[in-house]
Structure 1
C-alpha cells in the first residue's frame, strides 16, 4: 500500500533466496546504520523469499547500492556472479560475435555455474541490449538462477524512446511478472549528505575556472578499436580534453577501455555543461557512469559548476544521477590542475 512494491504469490520460493534472508538482515543490523521508512520497506521486501528474484529501483543516493551489495554478500554460496549492466552486454555481444555461437551458449559461458546473479545499474539506451536482455532473463529464470537487479528506473521507463519501446516490452513484462519489483521510495539523497570519500572516484576534484587554450600535441591511443587523443600519459594516469572524449563518436566500450588502462583520469577544458549539446553531454554522462562504477578517480577543470548539467537545454536522461555522482568530487580552488608529460600546465 503506497510502498511501490509489486508482489507475486508463489508457493515455491527460491532456496537461495530463503537461505539469504537471515544473513542479509543480520548484516544490516550489524552495520549500525539507521534506515528511513522507505529503506526499511525495501529491506523487508528483499527479506521475503521469492521464486525468481528482485528488481530494486529508486532515485539516486537512496541506498540501493548499500542494500543490494549487502544482500549479494549475504548469499551463502560462491556460485554467484555480479555484472554491471554495461559490462555484461558488451561482453555478451563480443562473445557472440567472436565465437559465432548462439546466444544461449554465450550466456552459459558468461554465467558459468552461477546460481545467483546480480545485475547492477540497469539503464537501457540501446535497443540491441533490450533484445538481449529479454533472452538473458528468460534463460536465467528457466535455469532457476536467483536474480538481483538494481536501477534508477521503474521497469516501464527503462526504454523511453517510443521508437523502440514496444520492442522492449517483452523484457518489461518478464521483470514485472517474474521478479519482485521493489521501489525504494523518496527520501534523503545520502550521496549528497555523505559526499566525502577516501578512495576511488570520490577522491577526484572539480575545479571551476575559465578554460585556456590547450596546444599540447595529441598522443594517440587505440581504445577498443577507436583512436582517442590524449594530452598527456604518464604511467597509469592520463589527461584528456572534453573534446577528446565527448565531442567524438565514442561509446561505452571506449570508456571501459580507459577505466581498465588508467588508475586516474584528468579531464580539462570542460565547457559550462548547461551550454553543451545533447550528444556530447550524453557521452559525458556515459563517461561519468563508467568511471564511477569502476571507482576511477576523476579530476575535472570546467567553466561552470557541476550542477549545471541539470540546466542544459537537452540534458541526458540520467542527468540527476550524473549530478549526484559528480557531487562526490571535491571542489578545488582555481589554478593549475595538472602538469602533463610535456611539462606544460593545463
Structure 2
C-alpha cells in the first residue's frame, strides 16, 4: 500500500515534551538516571535530524524509543527492528528495479519519523548499502531515532572492512545526536516470570535424550517429518513442521551452519510462531559464521515475539557461564537469559 505524499511538518511536530516522558517513567516505576534524562532531552530536541541511542543491553534504550514513539503527536511515523526493515526494503528494491527512492516511496510514503531498533552493521555488503540508505532518508527529511548496542564508531567492527564504513559513521555523528545510555543494570536479567511474553515464554531445555525431551513436553521429530523449506528460494532443512501447532523444528547445524540469512528467518517466522532449535553447541565450539547466524535468528525471533525453545546437552547455566567464549553480542546472551530453564529428570 502506497501512503499519500508527505504533508509539510514542523520540527515541533516531531518532538515530545520531556515532562511527558518523565511522567510515563514514574507511572512505570522506572526512575530515570542521568544518562536516560540526557536521552530524553535529545529526543525532545528539534535541532537535529535524529538521535542515536547506544549502550549495553537492557539499559532502557528501547523503552525510551517506545515512549517517544507513543507520545509523538503525528501519525506519520513507523517503528521497526532494523533487520525487519532491511529485509522488506530488499524485497521492494527487487520489485522496483533496484531504484532506492522508489522503494522508499513504496515502503514509507509520507512517514516523517523512522525508529530503528537494534541498529547493527557487520556485513560489508550491507555496509555499503546502509550508507546509501542513510543518505536517502536524510534527503527525505526523515527524522531517525536509532537504538544500538554499539556507538557509531563501533559499527562494522571487523578491522578488515571498518574503513569502508567510516563515511557512514561520520554522517551519523554529524547529522544525529549521539547519546550513551548506560544505567549499569540489565533489566532483562531481573525481569520476573509473571512478565514473560513472546520470546521469553520459550524454554532452555537440557535434554540428553529423546526421553528427556519428552519429559519436557516436546515430541522429537520422526525421520519422515523432515522437510526442506525454501524461504526466498533458499533451501533450509527442517526436522519437522507442525502447522496445527504453529511449530517448526530445526537442528542448529541445518539452520546456522549453512548459508542462510535474516531474510530467510523472517520469511519462516511469518508462517511459524513456535520455533524449536536442537543441537545448539557449547559456545566455545561455535565457529564465527554459525555464531553470526545464530545471533540473527535470536534477533528475528525476539523482535517477532515468537516462542523459542532451545534443546541442548548442556544446561543454560553452563552455556551462559561460558559467555566469554561466545563471539556474539551481549544482547544475545541477555535475551537467552530470559528463557525458562527446563532440566532433565534426575538420574539415580
Query: 2:283, 2:326 within 8 Å by CA — same for their partners in 1?
Result: no
- 1:291 corresponds in structure 2 to 301
CA 1:224–1:101 in structure 2 vs 1: closer, same or farther (change >3 Å)? closer
1:15 maps to which residue?
12
The aligned counterpart of 2:6 is none
State TM-score, norm by structure 2.
0.85
Q: Does the CA-based 8 Å contact 2:21-2:68 persist in structure 1?
A: yes
Residue 100 of structure 1, CA deviation: 0.8
- Which shows bigger deviation, 222-231 or 25-34? 25-34
Q: Pick from 76, 95, 109 the counterpart of residue 98 of structure 1.
A: 95
Structure 1 residue 256 corresponds to structure 2 residue 266: yes
Aligned equivalents of 2:167, 2:143: Cα separation in 1: 19
Aligned ranges 1:153-232 → 2 under 5 Å = 153-194=150-191, 196=193, 197-210=195-208, 216-217=223-224, 218-232=226-240
Q: Which residue of 1 aligns with 2:142?
A: 145
Partner of 1:339: none
Correspondent of 1:124 among 117, 121, 124 = 121
Question: Take 2:321 and 2:126, find their aligned partners in 1: how far apart are those partners?
Answer: 27
* Segment of structure 1 superposing worse, 42-51 or 77-86: 42-51
- 2:277 match: secondary structure: strand
Q: Is 1:316 aligned with 2:327?
A: yes
- Aligned 8 A contact 1:195 1:202 in 2: no
| 1:60 to 2:70 alignment | no
Extract unaligned runs of 5+ from structure 2. Answer: 1-9, 211-219
2: CA distance, partners of 1:165 / 1:121: 19
Match of 1:78 in 2: 75
Task: State the 1:210 CA deviation.
Answer: 2.3
What residue in structure 1 maps to residue 7 of structure 2?
none
Q: Find the aligned partners of 1:260 and 1:195 in 2 and give their Cα distance.
A: 28
One of 27, 30, 42 as aligned partner of 2:27? 30
Please state which structure has a larger fraction of its residues in helix: 2
CA offsets per residue over residues 181-211 of structure 1, 9 Å max, x none? 0100250110101153432100000012325
Q: Could you state the TM-score of these two structures normalised by the residue count of structure 1?
A: 0.85
Cα offset, 1:231, TM superposition: 2.0
1:175–1:232 distance in 2 versus 1, CA, 3 Å: same
CA contact (8 A) 1:20 1:76 kept: no
1:247 Cα deviation (Å)? 2.0
- Asked if 2 retains the 8 angstrom alpha-carbon contact of 1:211 and 1:269, the reply is no
CA gap of 1:200–1:75, structure 2 versus 1, over 3 A, is same
Identify the residue that residue 340 of structure 1 maps to in structure 2. none
- Equivalent residue for 1:50, pick from 43, 47, 58: 47
1:303: how far off? 1.6
Query: Using the alignment, how far apart are the partners of 1:220 and 1:140 within structure 2?
Result: 38
Q: 1:260-275 alignment to 2 at 5 Å? A: 260-275=270-285
Q: Distance in 1 between matches of 2:15 and 2:321?
A: 42
Q: Distance in 2 between the 1:178 and 1:310 partners?
A: 40
Residue of 233, 239, 242 corresponding to 1:234: 242
What is the CA–CA distance in structure 2 between the aligned matches of 1:119 and 1:14, rounded to whole Å? 19
Distance 2:298 2:181 in 1: 23
- Mean Cα displacement is larger for which, 163-172 or 94-103? 94-103
Distance 2:188 2:267 in 1: 26
